[in-house]
Structure 1
Amino acid sequence: MTGNDTSADHAPPGGAPAPGTPGAAPAPREGLDARLIVERGTFRLDIALRAAPGEVVALLGPNGAGKTTALRALAGLTPLTGGHLRLDGAELDRTPPESRPVGVVFQDYLLFPHLTALDNVAFGPRCQGASKTEARARAAGWLDRMGLTAHAGAKPRRLSGGQAQRVALARALATRPRLLLLDEPLAALDARTRLEVRARLRHHLADFEAVAVLVTHDPLDAMVLADRLVVVEHGEVVQEGTPAEIARRPRTDYVARLVGLNLYKGHAEGHTVRLDAGPALTTTEDLAGPVFVAFPPGAVTLHRERPAGSSARNLWRCSVTGLETHGDQIRAALTGELSLAADLTTVAAAELDLHPGAEVWAAVKAAQTHAYPA
């Protein structure tokens, strides 16, 4: 996958005059407008994607949701069954992959093992017709921007994971794509390297003038790198919005788990929400009709005896079904009148003598809940 060069001596997609041609208007930059319909056996993907130039969109979802199928469809590696795919106003549905103005960074980078970092990056421009000198000059410029000038002569086996990821990104950007696709770009990195590379990648994406689509199952990657999230489950979009909107108002159990919230659906009558499955909840919001109610595990307090004089309006008798370390805290999984997760310190867990099967009272103050229309 190399993509079309949109420099002055190449016509942009759709056959418009090249920029700089006398009388030519500037090439339109409309971004991405796609409806991707792909049917494969019993699985059907049907999602709409729109993104403006300069926008980074993350496709987020569980394994098997259809994220990779969507990315392959955008790249032209999987044919569409229906729908459309337009980039900057040009129809790409039937454009061969090698002719699309698309750059791809694959999960395993797929660098050519026999080529140096410089020649890996120069490969795309060479495929677009650039001379060897021009292609290597462009590649050197990208390696410099990635902080890899000292590694230009190294072959992939001599590069660290973070360095290989940056070479792969440079190779994709050297073709001057109008759409950049990143397939789990940080998945192959260890935790320590991931922090550094995530920060670098965010910097490079902020400078990218065209559309970038990131596929990931890691919520932190999505929240840090993307301007907007599109959550896909079972081949359909279930929620989209900014990271802040998604985190504050999750609409499925999958999204709630990603952002670390307890989530319930019910029917509101003023400050009372009667849950579809479970007891009633008291909230500070005054609403009517179908709603979601969410609260973080850290808002839950646990007691071995029913608390006397508690100010919590929400109190349920539960049993501990599991305990696991969650960062520097213990996360307790609870079931009973209400199934929920609670976070507490190691000391608090020890003082409560928590263990699977232990009976507890779980309390949440109304002020720590958040209700919003379903």
Structure 2
Amino acid sequence: MTDAEKKTSSPTGPASALPTAPSPAPALDEGLDARLVVERGSSFRLDVTLTAAPGDVVALLGPNGAGKTTALRALAGLVPLSDGGRMRLDGAELGRRPPESRPVGVVFQDYLLFPHLTALDNVAFGPRCHGARKAEAREQAAGWLERMGLATHAGSKPRRLSGGQAQRVALARALATRPRLLLLDEPLAALDARTRLDVRAQLRRHLADFEAVAVLVTHDPLDAMVLADRLVVIEDGRIVQEGTPSDIARRPRTDYIAHLVGLNLYRGEAEGHLVRIPDGPALTTADDLTGPVFVAFPPSAVTLHRGRPTGSSARNLWHCEVTGMEAHGDQIRASLAGDLALAVDLTTVAAAELDIHPGSEIWATVKASQTHAYPA
């Protein structure tokens, strides 16, 4: 994975189109080929198909309760597959194998390091379980800790490690068994913002060197877009969209994904440059299409006016009311309702000059050139 393949734009705006080649379809005798079917009574059914070639990093995204953690646990063998499910890894059927006999490494959200063991012995635990002698296992563990930049912490117990150090020990422990499938459950969720930035960069380097398949679950779009080659978005136990990070960011297909990547998203019927929104206004776009389409634009593309603007070149104009305001990085994000529901990003200076607050009436404009329409 190259640096160019990993980069996207800010989550608050659409990503630039990157020349990212799609991942090749895995051969039958290598990589992951799974259909994860899990039923929990009559209330929930997961049915997700995942394929990945060696070297691929796949991120599972989705709202709470979508089934992404269930999918990860099914891959690990911690949740049994229901009828119709299968899991093949490098050509071997693993669906009925117990977790301990699968060539799978797992990094749990809370790391689950053994508190009574040193970092060295935590990492050596995996090779020991696979039959390595104590001295051999500890030698392998020392090598992994050195690769993680933790050689000086080999004798430290987990309580003496920082969050970032504990995460790297857990990763080293998972990799020490040389798994053919690496699973990461919210690998950065337990870290503070400053540590997260450093550990994300380190984790990206380690995943780039990993020669087998890696699957991670995360709720953070930045983690997914920095770490993964391909995103798989799950809602209600089904895949609703998958593709490269740049594809997902530019062309979201559900409200959840649009919110995730920071875009306003609408579905309507296109007649040339005009898109009619059901129970809403028509939008003018730069794209010339016919039939069902999505229209997306970033909150930063919206310009606010206290009075109805005159002489504006913007083709889209809506009368709205401010329903909410919150800090969003170094800006303010305002939620609007009225002619059209939308999110708007503006600076604190602009908010003060407009004197807007919840309940304020406002006019919003968006230039057609700043919208993006694509087939639904």
TM-score w.r.t. structure 2 length?
Answer: 0.92
Give the drift of 1:277: 3.4
In the alignment, which residue of structure 2 is the partner of 1:192? 194
Q: How far apart, CA to CA, are the structure 2 residues paired with 1:347 and 1:159?
A: 43
Q: Sequence identity, in percent?
A: 82
In the alignment, which residue of structure 2 is the partner of 1:279? 281
In the alignment, which residue of structure 1 is the partner of 2:50? 49
Q: How far apart, CA to CA, are the structure 2 residues paired with 1:342 and 1:233?
A: 26
In the alignment, which residue of structure 2 is the partner of 1:69? 70
Tell me the SS of whatever aligns to 1:272.
strand
Answering whether residue 95 of structure 2 is matched by residue 87 of structure 1, we say: no
Give the drift of 1:214: 0.4
In the alignment, which residue of structure 2 is the partner of 1:59? 60
Q: 1:349 aligns with which of 348, 351, 356?
A: 351
Tell me the SS of whatever aligns to 1:287.
strand
Matched length: 348
Give the drift of 1:50: 0.6
Give the drift of 1:276: 2.2
In the alignment, which residue of structure 2 is the partner of 1:149? 151
Q: How far apart, CA to CA, are the structure 1 residues paired with 2:88 and 2:293?
A: 36
In the alignment, which residue of structure 2 is the partner of 1:14? none
Give the drift of 1:271: 0.4
Give the drift of 1:94: 0.4
Tell me the SS of whatever aligns to 2:55.
coil
Q: How far apart, CA to CA, are the structure 2 residues paired with 1:278 and 1:132?
A: 69
Task: Specify the code of the residue in structure 1 equivalent to 2:338.
Answer: G
Give the drift of 1:164: 0.3
Matches within 5 A, 1:87-236: 87-236=89-238
Task: Specify the code of the residue in structure 2 equivalent to 1:275.
Answer: I
Give the drift of 1:309: 1.1
Tell me the SS of whatever aligns to 2:132.
coil
**Residues 172-203 of structure 1: CA deviation (Å, up to 9, x unaligned):** 00000000000000000011100000000000
In the alignment, which residue of structure 1 is the partner of 2:17? none
**Residues 144-172 of structure 1: CA deviation (Å, up to 9, x unaligned):** 00000000011101100000000000000
Unaligned runs of 5+ in 1: 1-26
Does the Cα contact within 8 Å between 1:298 and 1:344 map onto a contact in 2? yes
Task: Specify the code of the residue in structure 2 equivalent to 1:48.
Answer: T
Task: Specify the code of the residue in structure 1 equivalent to 2:217.
Answer: V
In the alignment, which residue of structure 1 is the partner of 2:12? none
RCO higher in 1 or 2 (8 Å CA, sep ≥ 6)? 2
In the alignment, which residue of structure 1 is the partner of 2:33? 33
Task: Specify the code of the residue in structure 2 equivalent to 1:165.
Answer: Q
Does the Cα contact within 8 Å between 1:29 and 1:53 map onto a contact in 2? no
Task: Specify the code of the residue in structure 1 equivalent to 2:62.
Answer: G
Rg larger for: 1
**Residues 193-252 of structure 1: CA deviation (Å, up to 9, x unaligned):** 000000000000000000000001111100100000000111110000000000000000
Task: Specify the code of the residue in structure 1 equivalent to 2:79.
Answer: T
Does the Cα contact within 8 Å between 1:317 and 1:360 map onto a contact in 2? yes
Q: How far apart, CA to CA, are the structure 2 residues paired with 1:284 and 1:192?
A: 40
Tell me the SS of whatever aligns to 1:238.
strand
Give the drift of 1:255: 0.3
Give structure 1 regions of 4+ aligned residues with deviation exceeding 6 angstroms: none
Q: How far apart, CA to CA, are the structure 1 residues paired with 2:197 and 2:305?
A: 38
Q: How far apart, CA to CA, are the structure 2 residues paired with 1:342 and 1:127?
A: 54
Give the drift of 1:28: 8.1
Q: How far apart, CA to CA, are the structure 2 residues paired with 1:103 and 1:331?
A: 40
- RMSD of aligned C-alpha atoms? 1.0
**Residues 243-296 of structure 1: CA deviation (Å, up to 9, x unaligned):** 000000000000000100000000001000001231100001110000000000
Tell me the SS of whatever aligns to 2:66.
coil
Q: How far apart, CA to CA, are the structure 2 residues paired with 1:300 and 1:103?
A: 46
Q: 2:294 aligns with which of 283, 292, 295?
A: 292
Q: How far apart, CA to CA, are the structure 1 residues paired with 2:242 and 2:290?
A: 24
Q: How far apart, CA to CA, are the structure 2 residues paired with 1:121 and 1:243?
A: 32
Give the drift of 1:88: 0.5
Q: How far apart, CA to CA, are the structure 1 residues paired with 2:353 and 2:117?
A: 60
Give the drift of 1:29: 5.3
In the alignment, which residue of structure 1 is the partner of 2:252? 250
Task: Specify the code of the residue in structure 2 equivalent to 1:62.
Answer: P
Tell me the SS of whatever aligns to 2:73.
helix
Q: How far apart, CA to CA, are the structure 2 residues paired with 1:216 and 1:277?
A: 35
Q: How far apart, CA to CA, are the structure 1 residues paired with 2:63 and 2:265?
A: 18
Q: How far apart, CA to CA, are the structure 2 residues paired with 1:276 and 1:152?
A: 62
User: 1:28/1:135 Cα in 2 relative to 1: closer, same or farther (>3 Å)?
Assistant: farther
Q: How far apart, CA to CA, are the structure 2 residues paired with 1:140 and 1:266?
A: 58
Task: Specify the code of the residue in structure 2 equivalent to 1:101.
Answer: P
Matches within 5 A, 1:290-369: 290-369=292-371
Task: Specify the code of the residue in structure 2 equivalent to 1:137.
Answer: E
Q: How far apart, CA to CA, are the structure 1 residues paired with 2:112 and 2:328?
A: 34
In the alignment, which residue of structure 2 is the partner of 1:7? none
Q: How far apart, CA to CA, are the structure 1 residues paired with 2:131 and 2:147?
A: 23
